[in-house]
Amino acid sequence: MGGYRQLLNGCIPLALDRTGGSIMVEVTKLTFEDEVLKADGTVFVDFYGDGCVPCAALMPTVHAYADKYGDKIKFCALNTTKARRLAIGQKVLGLPVMAIYQNGEKVDEVVKDDATAESIEAMIKKYY
């Protein structure tokens, strides 16, 4: 997982499911609006940053949740190091932040020390 970097519809899939569909989509400041804010249904966003040790530690867990719950929830990731203004605009002021969006609005999130595998999965299950 994670090695696939071919541009696909303006997005970079971080992982692929067995049928070739994207499980986790790397969004950028250029694609965030279309992929998250204008998306139909529920969208999970992993806000992470370069050098964020807790973010890196959670990444395999988040990818596993994308595999498990990706049939009903779209999973995306945004590197805030490359999109600081966007992150601030989304009120992401510390990392890691895992958020749920519906109809273009952030409806739930777990942040910093509260971003544990258990709390992330509990949040996902509320919207699954």
Active site positions, annotated: 52, 55
How many CB atoms lie under 10 A from the CB of residue 21?
10
How many CB atoms lie under 10 A from the CB of residue 71?
10
What the block records as the tokens of 128 is 């699954």
Residue 27 phi/psi, 5-degree rounding, is -100, 160
If you count them, how many residues does the chain have? Answer: 128
The reply to whether omega before 60 is within 30° of 0 (cis) is no
Instruction: Give residue 11's Cα distance to chain centre.
Output: 13
